[in-house]
Structure 1
Amino acid sequence: MAVLLQRPHAAVACLLLYFLSSGLSIPDPRQREALIQLEASMQTGGQMVLTDAEQRLDTLLLKRKLEEMDRAQFPPAMHFFKARDLIRTSPIFNLLQKMPKGGALHVHDFAMVDVEWIVKNVTYRPHCYMCYTDSQSIRFIFSSRWPKALPHCSSWTLLENLRAKMMNTTDFDNSIMGNMTLFTDQDPEAVYPSQDVIWDVFEQVFLALWGLVTYAPVFRDYYYQGLTQFYLDNVMYLELRALLPEIYELDGSYHDRAWTLKTYQEVTRRFTADHPDFFGARIIFTIHRGVNATVMERTVEEAMALQRDFPDIMAGFDTVGREDKGRPLWYFRDALSLPAGRGVNLPFFFHAGETDLEGTEVDQNLLDALLLNTSRIGHGFALLRHPVAKELSRKRGVALEVCPISNQVLKLVNDLRNHPAAALMTEGHPLVISSDDPALFGASGLSYDFYEAFVGFGGIRSHLGSLKELAINSIKYSSLTPVLQEKALALWQRRWEKFVSENAF
């Protein structure tokens, strides 16, 4: 495997010092070229030594990228909902779908499976009831008897009876799908004019899905299908943010969180047995950041117990929900300090800096996440405004989990060429690419986000070495032990070499 050399920050400093002190007035072409090459070596993948076959594939990629940039409509400059069909026709996207991408380290539990599978598979099962809320959303439940009425919801309807009366169920099924995704064929800027509007719909989508995916038989099938969709996109490892809800049975009985985590473990083992070239999955237990300090303390206690009882499947802990409206990490500092105070290893993977606000308590989450010794930073969109956090994360090797499409859809950035990660890639900041909630955005797996990162963030200068380092980063910065990381890298390397040999014409 190619070795990543240490980035030449000292050399850069010496060269810049020379230019500042020399007072030269006539530019030297050799020094100019040295500066250009030195800057290129600092970017993500800039130190990667490519084989002959990789260089041939890299030449093909550059040709394709130049053609992409000449298109009348450049997808990274457009809203993803408008760009998706263009991306699907891209030769680069086709290549990225084939590329072994390593791991997806930032994906949420109930946003990983495309909604068509849910509607066509799950809602057609027996005993599935649906009602309409006052806010024009929908709710579901499976029950062996007529369910109790929900507040602010219409009377329950048994879907198998309702569909039996229809001549054509297509429009009805499409209307259900529309309640389970943010994707729209209309102008997304008009449909979602503000962050408040889109986050409200975003949260309603999760509530609509809840009664379906927390039903025990569906829960197992849903997770297996989610692993399948990532596997088919050439992802070999997954770290899933999961609320670990109480899963219910048809008779209305409930299972506790330990049962939920154990079920994740059992389904993961079954999937890896069925797909030996899939390395596995781990769970990051999450709690909504809107809870109070007492609930957080109780949840951290439970997280420590689960970490002790399920060390193989449990990766750590995080808080989720809209950062701008939720409580900041500092509010929960006592609860989040419990593991360290007791000498318990509970790794943190905090969402932090998923905001375009500046100078608020929320904006300080990046610094507080590092103070709390987070292993990675979810999103970190605001990192460029925090030079101390940026330098600390670099020195500690705390990678950012960058989710390009999510940041654009949730209205943090319009043109992905202007995403903060574009600047971070030029200096080789530790990054991984992930997809957050792909099913809700009309995407799947990781390829769409890799496309936006490679073509949008990277511009002309990103190359095959950039893609290779990003894939390696997804294993290097995972929660796997060093021994397991080596095994995963060896598995990935074999798949990478096969990919290169099959596509380096």
Structure 2
Amino acid sequence: MVMSISQPVVTFVLLPWLWVTNGMPDPTWRDMLIRQEASRHTGGQVTLTTAEQKLDTYLHRLMEQEMSAAQFLPAIHFFKAKPLIQKSSIFKLLQKMPKGAALHIHSSSLVSVDWLVKNVTYRPHCYICFTWDNSVRFLFSDRQPFPRWDCFYWQLLETLRARIQDPIEFDNSLMQHLTLFTEDPDGEYPSQDVVWEKFEKAFIAAAGLITHAPVLRDYFYKGLEELHQDNVMYLELRSGLSRTYELDGTIHDKVWSLKTFQEVVNKFTADHPDFFGARIILSVHRALSVSVVKAAVKEAIELHKDFPDVVAGFDVVGREDTGRSLWYFREALSLPADLGVALPYFFHAGETDKEGTDVDQNILDALLFNTRRIGHGYALAHHPLAKDISRNRSVAVELCPISNQVLKLVSDLRNHPAAVLMSEGHPLVISSDDPSLFGTTGLSYDFYQAFVGIGGLKSNLGTLKELAVNSIRYSSLASSLKNTAQVMFEKKWDIFIATCL
């Protein structure tokens, strides 16, 4: 059966109120209520084939085992739970499952830090600097780099490694600068402020490696490869397109980066015909001024017009709790409408637990500016009007459970607000946000956390299928391309079902 890529029209039969004056309520009515409520859950309207029903029965047994285990893994910090998740039969099944698209990943954290350190930092002309605030900077240069405010002394990594007795330990220390992963997450990150500080430092540390022009090409290709290996077939990448540099210091603009991205995607899809493609959502940081964001919006309008197949739209990124609200940038964000041009928005909104604050209103403001999707939407369940509007407009929430847990919005994923959204069948897609910083690749880990932790025993194979199909349905692709991608997905799904039986 091929699921329609258009938004399904769901109708529910409302049962009459049953007033009981004495005696026990009719168990038939109770069963009907239970079935009706289950039908509203994500995947509750998906009709499973006989083969799918057989796999679903097996999956349900696995879920019961996971739920009754001494350690419920989604209730444990992901950094501690990760090796246990890797042993899970459900996780191994999810790795095989076609997952559609990754719609919320940031470019600076697309590729595993293992590759960055063991491949990129071993390339010739790679310099390192240790900063005053216990961080690192990297730079490729054909000569000794000049000192700057944050880096007084640059060392050639090749020379430094030759003097080090334990290069493996040294490489591990470099990885610690590029990721949040630690064996003691609660001790190292006692608050959101502390973990976000390390989070932002890691982005800055990686920048010097990623923005070197020859590395950027390989980086994009490697990122697509890691997604493909996890059975993801399409990507929408958020990127500010930082200026890219050559060994001699030559600087490339955003047009060069977009063309490079397009070339890499074309090469990858030629090498891997079962990968559908990738696009970029241009982004700008919310710490910037209105004038800078206005200039970024104007630039995005031009780039979207010149690269319609590559540029999907625009977003404002960065920590919401300490950054400026969407409403603060209303003059800049109103530009496309004022100019009568199209620039789709895919706003981060509601990545906060500060209910009732100004930043909490980002959810409503994102909808006011006609966002196509809501990034994170952690606070959406506390905004009934915004929830209704987003559902009626088919504005999907990009759910990134591991990110929400690591950045300390929620500890036990059973308490994630998205559990309410899933129980109501609200449009959802699963993504990984910043996989390299969290020690993940692809989407399987986030699917596991969403399926087992947030969905619980109400989830089934139909839930997984709808979440995967949603990632195509709510992508930025044109309708004709969505239909083509859907056909490709269904073929992969049928093979998955057949090989799991």
- Give the TM-score taking structure 1 as reference length: 0.97
Of 115, 132, 156, 2:154 maps to: 156
Q: Report the Cα distance in structure 1 between the residues aligned to 2:21 and 2:221, rounded to whole angstroms.
A: 64
Counterparts in 2 of 1:24 and 1:465: CA distance versus 1, 3 Å: farther
1:371 and 2:374 correspond: no
In the alignment, the residues of structure 2 paired with residue 154 and residue 339 of structure 1 have an alpha-carbon distance, to the nearest angstrom, of: 43
* Residue 190 of structure 1 pairs with residue 187 of structure 2: yes
2:226 is the counterpart of 1:229: yes
CA apart distance, 1:167: 3.6
Output the amino acid matched with 1:178. Answer: Q
Q: Structure 1, residues 57-99: CA drift from partner, whole Å, max 9, x if none?
A: 1011011111112222111010000100000000100000000
Matches within 5 A, 1:55-134: 55-134=53-132
Q: CA deviation at 1:8?
A: 2.9
Matched, 1:32 2:35: no
Q: Which residue of 2 aligns with 1:413?
A: 410
Letter of the structure 1 residue corresponding to residue 403 of structure 2: S
Q: Is 1:289 matched up with 2:286?
A: yes
Which whole-Å CA distance do the structure 1 matches of 2:499 and 2:45 have between them? Answer: 24
Distance in 2 (alpha carbons) for counterparts of 1:375 and 1:280: 20
Alignment partner, residue 503 of structure 1: 500
2:46, 2:329 → 1: CA distance?
41
Which whole-Å CA distance do the structure 2 matches of 1:247 and 1:467 have between them? 39
Query: Aligned runs of 1:428-439 on 2, under 5 Å?
Result: 428-439=425-436
Distance 1:79 1:443 in 2: 14
Mapping of residues 30-429 of structure 1, within 5 Å: 30-185=28-183, 187-429=184-426
**C-alpha distance 435-23 of structure 1, shift in aligned 2 (>3 A):** farther
Moved over 2 A (4+): 1-9, 20-26, 165-168
Code of the aligned partner of 2:252? H
Q: Is the 8 A contact 2:128 2:137 kept in 1?
A: yes
Aligned counterpart in structure 2 of residue 474 of structure 1, from 462, 471, 476: 471
Q: Give a deviation string over 1:171-222, Cα, whole Å, max 9, x none.
A: 111110110000002x211100000000000000000000000000001101
CA contact (8 A) 2:212 2:244 kept: yes
Shift in Å, 1:363 = 0.4
Deviation track 1:395-439 (CA, whole Å, cap 9, x = no partner) reads 000000000000000000010011011111011000000000011
Q: CA deviation at 1:23?
A: 6.3
**Percent identity between the aligned chains?**
60
Shift of 1:24: 7.4
Mapped partners of 1:276, 1:353: distance in 2? 37
| Cα distance between partner residues in 2 of 1:458 and 1:362 | 27
| Partner of residue 464, structure 1 | 461
| One-letter identity of the residue aligned with 1:436 | D
Once the two structures are TM-superposed, the CA of residue 2 in structure 1 deviates from its matched residue by 4.7
Cα offset, 1:262, TM superposition: 1.2
- Aligned in 2, Cα 1:62/1:165: closer, same or farther, shift over 3 Å? same
The alpha-carbon deviation at position 388 of structure 1 amounts to 0.7
| 1:137-182 per-position Cα deviation (integer Å, ceiling 9, x unaligned) | 0000000111111213341000011112234311111110110000
Calculate the aligned-residue CA RMSD, in Å.
1.2
**Aligned residue type for 2:161:** R
Q: Is the 8 A contact 1:3 1:49 kept in 2?
A: no
**Which residue matches 2:9?**
6
Letter in 2 for 1:348: Y
Is the 2:91–2:445 Cα contact (8 Å) retained in structure 1? yes
Query: 3-state SS of the aligned residue for 2:127?
Result: strand
The structural deviation recorded for 1:40 is 0.5
Aligned residue identity for 1:357: K
Amino acid at match of 1:117: W
Structure 1 portions without partners, runs of 5+: none
The CA distance in 2 between the partners of 1:480 and 1:21, in whole Å, is: 50
Give the C-alpha shift of residue 20 in structure 1. 5.8
C-alpha contact 1:349 1:375 (8 A) present in aligned 2: yes
3-state SS in 1 of match to 2:250: coil
Contact (CA 8 Å) 1:2, 1:50: kept in 2 or not?
no
SS in 2 for 1:411: coil
1:80 maps to amino acid: F
Aligned residues: 498
The residue type equivalent to 1:477 in the other structure is: Y
Measure the CA separation in 1 of the matches of 2:265 and 2:85. 31
Distance 1:301 1:453 in 2: 37
In structure 2, runs of 5+ residues without a counterpart are none
Contact persistence 1:8–1:42 (CA under 8 A): no
Does the residue aligned with 2:138 lie in a helix, a strand or coil?
strand
Counterpart of 2:128 in structure 1: which amino acid?
M
Question: The residue matched to 1:458 in structure 2 has which SS?
Answer: helix
Question: What's the secondary structure of 2:244's corresponding residue?
Answer: coil
1:224-248 deviations in Å (ceiling 9; x for gaps): 1000000000000000001111100
